Chain A
Amino acid sequence: MNAQFAEARARVAEDGALLRSMYELMLLTREIDRVAGKADGHWHACEGEEAVIAACYSGLRPDDFAVPHYRGMLPASVARGADLRALLAGLAGKTTSHSGGRYRSDVCGPIEHRVIGLYSGALGPTLSYAAGTALAAKLDRRDAVTIAVFGDGTSNRGDFHEALNLAAVLKLGVVYVCQNNQFAISTPAARGVGARSIADRAPGYGIPGVAADGNDAIGLRAAVEIAIERARRGDGPTLIEALTYRISGHLVADAADYRPAEDVAAWRSRDPLARLQRHLLECGLLKRDEDERLARETRERVDAAMAQAQADPDPGADALGLQAVFAAARS
C-alpha cells in the first residue's frame, strides 16, 4: 500500500491539469464561503477543509455518483457541473434554484448531476444511499463508482456501520471518505469516537482503511484515486479518513467558543489552499500572474453569480406546490 501510495502521490503531484482544476475548486469554495457566510448565518463554512472537497469531487466521470457531506455540498455540485448561480439561488430560496425554493442547495445537491443530498436532514442515511447507487451500478454491470463523504460525527451513527458492512459484503464500488474536521457541532471527535481513529474501524468490515492528511490535497487525491480504481475493478469499498480541522463554527453564526483559540490558529497555519498554491508555484505548474488572475476571476464569478441569484425572483405562495408532493395530485 505504501509503495502504491507513493507512486500515486508522485503521479498526482505532477499532474498539472488535475491540480489546477483542484486548486480552482478550492479557490471557488473559499469564495463561496465568503459570500454565503455573509448572506446566511446558517451557512456551514468550509474554510480549512477545501482539500477534501477538491480531492473527492475532482475528476469524477459523468456516470459516477457523488454523495457529499453537507460541508462541501455546494462546491461539490459545481464540480459535478451544476450552475453556480442556480446553486446560490438555492441558498436564497429562489425560483431559479433546482428546488424552486423548497430546499437548501447546500444540504441537497441536484440529482440531475448525480449528486445525492441529505434527504433525511439527519446524518448517516447518505451512506446507505451511496451503497444503493453503487449497487445499481453493479446490477447494471457498469464500473461507475460512488464517492460518499461524511463527518466524524456521522461516523458514530448506526447508519455508518450498516452501510459500510453492506458495501463490504456486496463488494460495492463506494469510496467512503470521512471529512474528519474534529467537531460534531461542539463535541470534539475524541469524545465521539472510541476507536484510535476512524480509519481503524475499517478492518472490522474487512475493507482497507486509510488515514490521510486532509489538508494535503495531493496526498489525499492519491488515496482517493487508489480507492476509486479498486472500486472500479469491483474489489469493493474503501474507508478513507481525511484528518482536517473546522476553522469556522458549525454555522457561521456559531462563535465556537467551546475550543481553544490556539488550536484554531495552529490549524489555520496549515491552510490547505496556501499549501497547494505553494506546490503549484514552486513546480512551475502555475505562474504567479496566472494565479492572481485566477483569484480575481473566481472572485468576480462568485460575486456575479451571487448578485444574480439574490436578484432572482422569490417563489409566490401559489408555487407552494401541492401538485409536487405526489406524482399525481393526491393531497
Chain B
Amino acid sequence: MSALRLPGRAVLRTGAYSLTVHRRSAAVCVLLLAVLLGAVTAALCLGDTYITFADTVATLTGTTGYDRTIEVLRLPRTVLAVAAGAALALGGALIQSVARNPLASPDIVGVTAGAGLAATFTLTFGLGYALLAPSALVGGLAAAALVLLVAARGSLSAPRFVLAGVAVAVLLKSGIQILLLSADAIDAQRAQIWLIGTLGGRGWTEAAFLGAALALALPALVWAQRALDTTDLDDPTATGIGVRVTGRRIGLAVLGVVLASAAVSQVGAVEFVALAAPQIARRLARTSRPPLLASALTGAVLLVLADWLGRTAFGDYQVPAGVLTAALGGLYLLYLLLTKGTRNEKKTAGLRARLGLRARAGRVRDVRPGDRTQ
C-alpha cells in the first residue's frame, strides 16, 4: 500500500478506516484544554472567599463548609460559561467559514439583533421573566431565517449572505432602540444588561439547555468539520470536484445559526466571543479556516475568564461578562494580528511559492500530485 504523506497531518488507521489529523491543531486543542481547566479552577477557587484547590475538589465530591459558595454561586455559572462560550464560538466558526469572511459573526448576520429585539420586547412589555429565553431563541432564529431567505435569492453567495445579514441586523437594532427609548427607565436598564450579556443570576437551567443543544449538534458538527474542508474553494472549483455547494453552505449556516441563537438566548447578546474565538483558534492552529474544536475551547476559555474577572476584579461592581469578552477578545485578537498574523501569511506564501500551486487549489486535500511519494 502506498504511503500518502500530507504536510502537517498525521494519519490514524484502524482496520479499513483512516483519519487524518492536523498535528498542530491537535496540539493546540490539548493546550487550550489545559488553559480551560486552569480558568475553570480559578473561577471556582477565587472570589470574595478564597477556597483552596483541595477544598474545591473536596466540595465537588463531598460535603464541606463551602457547598453553597461552590455549588450554588460559582459552579453553575462557570459550567454555563463553558457551554455558552463553546456554542457561540462554534456558531461563529461555522458562519465565518460559510461567509468566507472573518468579520461574519452572529452579531453581523442578525442572530444577536433578532434575539435582542425579542428579549427587549419581552422585558419592556412586561411579558414575564419565564418568556425571556424562549422569545430570544425564536427571535434569533427568525432573524437568521430572514437573512438566509434574502441571501438564498442568488445561490447564497458569500458576499450576499453578509450584506443581507448586515441589512437585517441594522433594521432590528433600530427596533431595539425604539423600544428602549419608549420604555420605562427601569425596564430599559434591565434590557440593556441583557443586551450586553451577563451570566449573573443564571445557572443550571441555562447550562442544561445549552449542554443538550451541543450534544444534539455533535453528529452535525462531525459532518461540518469535514464539509468545511471545501468551503475555501471558489464555487466553480468546489462544484467541479463534486461538492453540492449551496446545500452544504445552507447546512453549515443553519447549524451555526442554531448554535449561536441557543447560546444568545440563554446568556444574552455576549458580543465578540463568536467573532474573536474562531480567529484566535485559527491563528494558534495556523490553519486556513477556523478549526471547530479549538474554536469551541477558545470560546469557553474567553467566557469563563470574562465572567470570573467581571464578578471578582472590580470591587462591589459586577461587570457583565459581555463587557469583558469584548475587551479580552479584542486585545488578544489585535495582538495576534500585529504579530503572528504577518509571520503566518509570509510562511504560507513561501510554501505556496515552493509548491508552485495557486493559492486556492493548494488547500484541497488528497489531490496534490506533487505530494505523492511511492
A binds B: no
Residues of chain A at the chain B interface (Cβ within 8 Å) = none
